[in-house]
Amino acid sequence: MDCAAQAAELVAPYLDRPALKLLDVGCGGGHFYHCLVRRGLLADYYGLDYSPSLVRLAKAAFKKQGLDPQKIILGDVRDLRDFACDIALVVNTLSFNPDFRAPLDRLSQTGCSVMVIRDNFGAKTLVRYEIDGFLDQGFNHLKGYWNCWSVSEVSNFLSDYSFKVKYFIDRRTQGKVELVVGKPYHWSWLVAERK
Ligand SMILES: C[S@@+](CC[C@H](N)C(=O)[O-])C[C@H]1O[C@@H](n2cnc3c(N)ncnc32)[C@H](O)[C@@H]1O
């Protein structure tokens, strides 16, 4: 939970009005909403995920708690169109995409003034398309992306969209390498503020 806690701390200064619309990209089960509520942080929360089973879970959890399940959206951030928001959160999600550019381009088109991103950042971009190896029997031939992004490439990309980018060390991993299904991850945070 340290990761969600740090995400909440990083978005908190921008949640200065309750009606601000926050899009949680790669929301999984939508747990970040509850992390905000526990901290007394108010936002007009929307979750987006391209996994139908996770979206089903998140919608069911929202419904059970009397929240609007329509705020959990099934879709790929790369296809996001005609969606406006104030804050975009992209936690542990970009690395599993073929490139960071299309997701960040779509998010910048939402008009958001802030993006908070946790990902596998390093000195150089390294594209890895490999098997997971930890899936259920019969599925381990499936490949996916396990990418590492160059901090300067991502920062330069965002500054072309008029964002000023700040780097933050990851509190949970403290700048140390963490193995994610045996692959090296250097988790860190970027907070991009529209100039
Ligand atoms: C590792 S999980 C992280 C979930 C959550 N953000 C967290 O930190 O606990 C990555 C999530 O991103 C989703 N995802 C990855 N790429 C996506 C994309 N292009 N559009 C929408 N969802 C995506 C996956 O389905 C998955 O639920």
Q: Which atom of ligand 1 is nearest to the CA of 90?
A: 6
pLDDT digits (tens, 9 = 90+) for 125-162: 999 999 988 888 888 888 999 999 999 999 999 999 99
- The C-alpha torsion from 113 through 116 and 121 to 125, rounded to 10°, is -40
pLDDT digits (tens, 9 = 90+) for 67-86: 999 999 999 999 999 999 99
* Nearest CA, atom 11, ligand 1: 26
123 alpha carbon to ligand 1 midpoint, in Å? 23
Smallest CA-to-CA distance from 94 within 31, 139, 28, 145 is with 145
Which two structure tokens, joined as six digits, stand for 191? 């907070």
The CATH topology of domain 2-194 is Rossmann fold (3.40.50)
Per-residue three-class SS string for 122-136: ECCCECCEEECCCCC
104 alpha carbon to ligand 1 midpoint, in Å? 14
Does position 37 have pLDDT exceeding 80, yes or no? yes
Which two structure tokens, joined as six digits, stand for 83? 């969606």
* Nearest CA, atom 25, ligand 1: 51
102 alpha carbon to ligand 1 midpoint, in Å? 15
Which residues neighbour 186 within 8 Å (Cβ) at sequence distance 6 or greater? 120, 121, 122, 148, 173, 175, 177, 178
Report pLDDT for 2: 87
Q: Which atom of ligand 1 is nearest to the CA of 4?
A: 8
95 alpha carbon to ligand 1 midpoint, in Å? 9
The domain ranges of the chain are 2-194
| CA distances for 112 relative to 70, 72, 91, 158, angstroms | 20, 18, 16, 12
Which two structure tokens, joined as six digits, stand for 118? 């946790």
> Ligand 1 pocket by C-beta < 6 Å: which residues?
3, 26, 28, 48-51, 54, 76-78, 91-93, 96-97, 103
pTM tops 0.75: yes
